[in-house]
Amino acid sequence: MNVKQHQQRMRSLYNMQVALFDRTFANILAEFKSVTVAVGFLRQAETLDVAAKKQSAAFLRMLALAEALPKTATSDDANRSQAFIDAMHDSDVGEALSDWFDARRKAEHAIWDMEINHALSAAVALGDKARANPEDKELREYADAMSWRFGACQYQIHALCRQAEAIAEMEQAMLRSHGLKIWQGRKQYLRWEGDNANRLQVAS
Amino acid sequence: MLVELFEPRDKAGTVRVTYNDVELVSYGFLAGSPPRFSFGTPNKTGVAKVFLVVDGVETLVGEGNYTWEDGVLVSSSEKLYPQESIISVKKRIKQLQTEQRAAMRIVRSLAETLKKQLNKAVHPLISAGAVSTILETVETASSAVATMCERVGNDPEKMEEAKLIAFLGSREGEELARSRDQMRKKLTRAIESWDDDRAVGRAQVEAYHPSSLTIRDRSMSFEFTALLRQAEALDHTLSALLDSNSIQFWFDADGTYNFVGQAQE
């Protein structure tokens, strides 16, 4: 498998991952959109979905740039190539990269929020309500049935978070398969490996 | 009493509230804004009913019960009427199975891609064996869960509780549960050790092996993390499948097998 084939394979894997994330999110939303107590965790899941979509869009802009860069002899050279350095000084690219880092940070925060699982608190709230109204048999049955639903949903929410993380890792891997290594340094300055190497050379 | 509809409505309408079937208050709202308003209820025992009126069609959306004794409110409770029926568990299980199969395909291809790369380049932190182990773990757990769900019929509404309990208490049920649990522990150990090593390990790789590994090879660390995250996501989907089938089991520290409904056996 040559480099090009490898990159294509990664791209198709990435598309599969994004499709699975979308499906998982849509199914959670469809299941609970009419359940009032679920509104809290659905909002959280929506926040993650919005951030993930922005992240994906910004990443694809970045990937298009990476694909357009002239192929250098070794991938390490890509970061040091004049074409890449010129691209990094282009405001469009800078914007795409900032968007990518921003959206990724937002998605990470959404995931941290979702580690405290509100699907279970919704089930607990419903159970408390059913216990407070022992004569309401209908409510009791509803709470019983829903407790399994919420149980399954909390796992799916964790699955959604892990899928989002897997997508973020894959994006990093794909940029590196093009030889690019970019990160956000202190004060959110954009940094890249070639940039660093140039700096070190200047310093010595 | 506070009346709040979480979803903004497509059309304008009115929220009407009656108390003991006598008109109490009504509130108009515009399209696109979720109706929310509060008001005081009479100081006497009764039932407040909330109706949503849109295009002349009236739907009962909720009610509140208030009990007053000697001028003091002693208890109150609300009840909501879901407007749409929720998707059936059977259909939800079908969705989860599709998600599980899609996740399995991704894990498998990710593992294969990584193994192909590892054939060509040596990575100081990842071995082809480790990748195979993760894939095997996930496949075993998946098939154990699929068999368990198949045995209980994938339709909890039709499944008799006694049958479910009998299956979970059977030798086969216990073996499948044990296999799923062991695989899950194995996966968790792999994830934890990688996450612990990762920060240190990556720094070492980048610092000490820069010439032996090109940036492209270093992408393997990210691919491996993606594989682990995807495997973990799949594991959660397996748990969701079990919960949807009303199956819940756990193991004590000494390895004793427990499951929900055990006492009734």
ipTM score here? Answer: 0.87
Contact A178, A66 (CB under 8 A): yes
In a domain, A197, yes or no: no
pLDDT at A25 (0 to 100): 96
Higher-pLDDT residue of A49, B72: A49
Q: Which long-range contacts (CB under 8 A, 24 or more apart) does A83-90 make?
A: A84/A180, A84/A192, A84/A194, A85/A194, A85/A195, A88/A190, A88/A192, A88/A195
If pLDDT is split at 50, 70 and 90, which confidence band does B203 have? Answer: low
List C-alpha distances in Å: A27 to A31, A100, B91, B102, B169. Answer: 6, 26, 11, 14, 32
pLDDT digits 0-9 by tens, B220-245:
888 999 999 999 999 999 999 999 99
Tell if the CB–CB gap between B229 and A74 is shorter than 8 Å.
no
If pLDDT is split at 50, 70 and 90, which confidence band does B86 have? Answer: confident
Count of domains for chain A:
1
> Which residues 6+ apart lie within 8 Å of A193 measured at CB?
A76, A79, A80, A181, A182, B215
Residues of chain A with pLDDT under 50: 200, 202-204
Burial of B82 (0-12, 13-18, 19+ CB in 10 A): exposed
pLDDT digits 0-9 by tens, B13-31:
888 899 988 888 888 888 8
Average pLDDT over residues B68-94: 79
In a domain, A201, yes or no: no
In a domain, A203, yes or no: no
Contact A139, A133 (CB under 8 A): yes
Q: Which helix (H) or strand (E) holds B6?
A: none
Residue A170: its chain B contacts at CB < 8 A? 222-223, 226
User: Which 141-170 residues of chain B touch chain A by CB within 8 A?
Assistant: 156
Q: What are phi and psi of B88, to 5 degrees?
A: -70, 155
User: Which 95-114 residues of chain B touch chain A by CB within 8 A?
Assistant: 95-96, 98-99, 102-103, 105-106, 109-110, 113
Contact B27, B9 (CB under 8 A): no
Q: Does domain B2-80 have CATH number 2.60.40?
A: yes
Residue B205: its chain A contacts at CB < 8 A? none
pLDDT at B197 (0 to 100): 65
Give ranges for CATH 2.60.40 in chain B.
Answer: 2-80
Q: Residue B216 is nearest to which of A75, A133, A156, comparing CB atoms?
A: A75
In a domain, A195, yes or no: no
Residue B98: its chain A contacts at CB < 8 A? 23
Q: How far apart are CA B10 and CA B57, in angstroms?
A: 14
pLDDT digits 0-9 by tens, B131-149:
999 999 999 999 999 999 9
pLDDT at A19 (0 to 100): 96
Average pLDDT value for chain B: 85
With 60 as the cut, is the pLDDT of residue B83 above it?
no
Residue A117: its chain B contacts at CB < 8 A? none
> A45: domain range?
3-189
Size of interface A-B (CB pairs under 8 A): 147
Task: Residue A125: name the closest of A1, A37, A45 by CA.
Answer: A37
